[in-house]
Each structure stands twice: as structure tokens, then as C-alpha cells.
Amino acid sequence: MTRVFISYSRKDLEFVQRMADDLKTAGLDVWYDLSGLEAGTRWGSEIQKAIKTSQYFLVVMSPNSVNSEWVEREFLYASIQNLKIIPLLYQPCDLPMWSLNLHFIDVQGRNYSLHYQELLKALGVEEKPLPVEQGLPVASPLSPAQRKFTIKPTLIIGLLAVVIFVFAGIWGLPQIITWLVLSPAATMTATVAHETPFISSATLAATASKVVFTPTSTLVPPLMKILTGHTGSLSSVAFSPDGRTLASGAWDGRIILWDTVSWSRLQTLSGENRGVSSVALSSDGRTLASSYDDNTISLWDITSSTKLSTLANHTDTVMSVAFSPDGRTLASSSKDNNVLLWDTASGEMLRSIDVLTSTAFSVAFSPDGRTLAGGSTDGTIILWDTSSWNRVKTLVGHKGMIFSVAFSIDGHTLASGSLDGWGTGGNVQGTIILWDVASGTKLHTFLDSNGGIYSVTFSPDGYMLASGSSDSFGTDGSFKGTTILWDVTSGNKLQTLAGDNIGVFCVAFSPDGRTLVSGLKNGKILIWKIDND
């Protein structure tokens, strides 16, 4: 029997219960949290299980659900599971745009009866009359003035991207965010006639710049600067090889180039209505690659800020891009489960090197260019030999989806970060594993109870690893996240940097190792000074 998961706010429960009864009468297996939870069960785990076993995901959109973090999290996990998502507009509300390709069904007032058959059709069910005209509790019909509303730019996720691109962190999974969650580049208006995207990202906690550190830490990096310019969640940050430029990409559709001396904005690329999931700079520092939620990749000349080419052979959101060390080849991974290679000079696709059974959220070349690594949502890492493009190793050790992989500067060690489930204190737990590339064995396992791991990066000297995490909760119920510095040799935690104390989705060291950059869910970029001079 076809299963339907309903995501909603408890304040809209009466409508949800009556709609669920109608759908059950139509022969559907309907799950929502009050219908499928027994006393004493861990409800987060049960919700995850219910989504994974469903084929359709209904989102009841109202001012109440717009401000629900759990509705957002359920949506992100459903996106990761590739469920068919059907938004239902129950009450007029401001809706942040996470995607441009989903239409909603208007179920306001009498429209529920009028559009019930459309709902059944979307759920793959033959048309059937409503069991009874039940007089569902709904908001007043829209006035002409209300028939347009503002769609506010905000995170998706990846996260979704990412996302995410979030649930892996909550329930043994995120969230992208991450991928995986998509936001537009600008505020726009949309009519109610089946033209709107999704649910809102909840309002996040106020910012703070206090540095939090462990009592045993000997390293206390000061927060040098906070960069603002993005309106959506950061998805990726990358330094140019000379360290003079920082590129940042976000789900708001913008790519910003920053001068790392003055930390002023040099250029803004893109700005189109598509989310940026990943950015990478070539070894000569002249070309920037960016991937998007519209299934494409762009190559840019950053000296002139002109687009060189658009690469368009993927059929779903492109999650990650990486240049080979010589800059001649670009690797890309997508939610279509393909890993493709591109000629950066011509923009032509060279080949598909693999079709995976799950999405690779992150790909990375080894410094010598001989190995490509891909970390997937099924918790495995695949290593390919770049001379033959055959798989040479599959690394197994994570329990949840992997969002980031990174090689050490000597190429001997690979770091992977994932979202693996609950810690002993009830918080979301992420795992970092260091692998010996030659043997494929584990060297260290780091646990972070402050959230799932969305990004990992080695310091240039190879002695430290930085990680960015998100998705644990504070006492106020808001998203939390940290940047952590780890000792690669001992596996000990050196430093916890709280900064804005909000989700950290990307981290990067400058080439000289003196600066660490953290990209946050609220669109801010934190600049940390690492040296103690």
C-alpha cells in the first residue's frame, strides 16, 4: 500500500486529522506524528523511519509550519530520501523559496473540496469522491490583495544542501543542506495559482562573537572579522592558491569574491535564481567552478568575472565540484548519483566514471592527482584510480551519510565527516574518520556531539583538522553548530570555536595556515586567526 507522510504544525492538527481520514478512505496508508507514535518511543527515530518507508511527502503550509524547525527537518530528510514532495497551501503565509520546481495544491477554504481530486492524482490514486463534505477547519479564502505574497530568500540544504542536509544528524543520518536545500537569489512575488515552493527555514538565534574553548586548550584563535553579504546559508568556501582571494558560495545564488587583506568584497558572481552548492578554484587561481541546484556547473574567469562555459550533463542537483591538481580536469558529483569528468578548457564532458547507488555529496582529488575520493549518503567512501578510473577501494566505517571528504597535503591521509545519530546526551552526533589512503584502514575516529559534520579540511602543515558542524539544539530549541580544531596525530580536540553559535556548513584554511574561515547557516562568514603571533 502506498504510504503518505504528512508534515505539519501541531496547531493545524484538526485539518491534518480530517485530511488523513479522507486519504485513508481513498486507500492510502497515511502517517503523521500523532497517528503513528506509541508512548515511550523515541519520536525522532520513528519519524525518520516513517519518512524512509513512505513514497509521498505532504507539507501542510501555514504561518505555523513556516516557523517550525521540525517541519523543515522533515522536509530535508524527505528530500534526501527522494520522496515525491507535494506542498499544500492551507493558510496564506510568507514562504521562503527552497526550490523553484515544486507546485503546491491550494487547500484553503472550499478549495480543499475543489482540489481533492488533484491531490489524489498527485498521490497516484484514481479519482474518488470525498467521503463526506466535512466542513474542514480552514482559513478564510484569500482576498484579491492576498493572492500575491512575498517569497523570502533563505536556506535550503544543501542542506539542503544542503544539505543536506540535517536529518542524518538528527536521526542517524541532515540535510543538506544540505545540499541541498535551495534558495533563490532575490525576493520575488508569486501568485497562489500553483506557483510557489516550500517551507521556511526557522528564525535562528541571535549572533555572538565570543570564542569558546576547552580548558585544556593551548590555542585560542581570535575572531578577526565577520563578513556579511550572503542572505542564504553558506554552502562552500575556497581560497585561491596565493591566498589573496576567498570565494564563497551560498544557497542564495550568490558567489562572492573577497580580498583577504582588507576583507572587502571584490566581485559578486551569479546572483541568479538558483542555489550554489559548491565552489572550487583551479591551481593557477584563474578559474572558478561553481555547481548549482539547477543541475548545472559554471566555469568563471575570476580576473574578468566572466562566465567561460556552462556544463549541463547532470540531471539533478550537482553537489560537489573539484579541480584536478593540474587544473585540466573537473570532477563533479550529483544527486543523480553520477560522477562526471569535464575538460576545463573546452567545457566538454570527458566521461562518466561511475554511477553510484547513492549520492556523493563530496568529491576531492589527492594532491598528486592519482586518486579521486567520493563520500556518499550510504556512509561509504569510494577511491578511484585516475589513470584507469577504476574503483580501487571502498572505505566503510560511517553509520550515516558523509557530507565531506578531504586529503591531507601529503595525500597519505583522507578525512571524512558524517552525520551519524544521537550522542549519549541526546544531542546530534557527527563522526570524523581519518583513513590511511594506502591501506584503507582507520587511523582515528573523532566524535562531535555538537552536531553532524558538514565540512572537514586539513591545515597546510597537516597537523590540524578543522570541522564544521550543525544541527544540535540549544535550550531555546534553535540550531547550534561549532567549528572544531583537532590534533591529527593524537586525535585530541584542540579547540572549539563557537562564533555565532549557529550551524557551520563549510570550513577552509588559507594556504599559509594562518587563517581559518567558517561559513554559517545564517549567511555570515567568520574569519579566525590561527597563529599565536
Whether 431 has a pLDDT exceeding 60, the answer reads yes
Confidence of residue 314 (pLDDT cuts 50, 70, 90): very high
Residue 187 confidence (pLDDT): 28
How confident is the model over 295-319, as a mean pLDDT?
94
Written as nine digits, the cell of 133 is 463534505
Residue 217 confidence (pLDDT): 38
Q: What is the pLDDT of residues 219-238, one digit of tens each?
A: 456 788 999 999 989 999 99
- Candidates 186, 149, 300; CA nearest to 238 is 300
Could you give the CA distance from residue 421 to residue 173 in angstroms, rounded to a whole number? 6
Whether 157 has a pLDDT exceeding 50, the answer reads no
Residue 273 confidence (pLDDT): 77
- Candidates 238, 335, 334; CA nearest to 287 is 238
Name which of 92-106, 117-131, 134-148, 167-181 the model is least confident about.
Answer: 167-181
Residues 6+ apart with CB under 8 A from 511: 239, 241, 242, 243, 460
Could you give the CA distance from residue 53 to residue 78 in angstroms, rounded to a whole number? 10
Written as nine digits, the cell of 483 is 567549528
Residues 6+ apart with CB under 8 A from 447: 423, 429, 430, 431, 432
Whether 500 has a pLDDT exceeding 90, the answer reads no
Residue 259 confidence (pLDDT): 97
Crossing angle of helices 69-80 and 43-52, rounded to 10°: 40
Whether 280 has a pLDDT exceeding 90, the answer reads yes
Written as nine digits, the cell of 502 is 549557529
Residue 298 confidence (pLDDT): 96
Whether 302 has a pLDDT exceeding 60, the answer reads yes
Residue 371 confidence (pLDDT): 98
Q: What is the pLDDT of residues 32-86, one digit of tens each?
A: 987 655 544 455 678 888 998 999 999 998 988 887 777 877 887 787 777 889 9
Give 233-272 as a DSSP string. Answer: -EEEEEE-TTSSEEEEEETTSEEEEEETTT--EEEEEE-S
How confident is the model over 419-444, as a mean pLDDT?
83
Residue 137 confidence (pLDDT): 46
Select the more confidently predicted residue: 186 or 523: 523
Select the more confidently predicted residue: 45 or 359: 359
Separation of first and last alpha carbons in the chain: 65
CB 44 within 8 A of CB 74: no
Residue 69 confidence (pLDDT): 72
Residue 145 confidence (pLDDT): 32
Confidence of residue 430 (pLDDT cuts 50, 70, 90): confident
Whether 413 has a pLDDT exceeding 80, the answer reads yes
Mean pLDDT (the chain, rounded): 79
Q: What is the pLDDT of residues 324-355, one digit of tens each?
A: 999 999 999 999 999 999 999 999 999 999 88
Q: What is the pLDDT of residues 397-408, one digit of tens each?
A: 998 899 999 999
Could you give the CA distance from residue 187 to residue 182 in angstroms, rounded to a whole number? 14
51 in the Ramachandran plot: left (φ > 0), alpha (ψ -120 to 50) or beta?
Answer: alpha
Confidence of residue 443 (pLDDT cuts 50, 70, 90): very high
Whether 148 has a pLDDT exceeding 80, the answer reads no
CB 183 within 8 A of CB 98: yes
| Residue 254 CA, distance from chain mean position | 16
Residue 288 confidence (pLDDT): 98
Domains located in the chain, CATH noted: 3-191 (3.40.50.10140), 223-529 (2.130.10.10)
Q: Which residue has the cell 525576493?
A: 187
Confidence of residue 506 (pLDDT cuts 50, 70, 90): very high
Could you give the CA distance from residue 289 to residue 298 in angstroms, rounded to a whole number? 6
- The percentage of residues in the chain with a pLDDT greater than 70, rounded to a whole number, is 74
- Candidates 155, 68, 171, 205; CA nearest to 480 is 205
Confidence of residue 501 (pLDDT cuts 50, 70, 90): low
Residue 38 confidence (pLDDT): 52
Name which of 48-62, 94-108, 358-372, 491-505 the model is least confident about.
Answer: 94-108
Q: Which of 121-135, 154-168, 316-330 has the highest mean pLDDT?
A: 316-330
Whether 467 has a pLDDT exceeding 70, the answer reads yes
How confident is the model over 307-323, as a mean pLDDT?
95
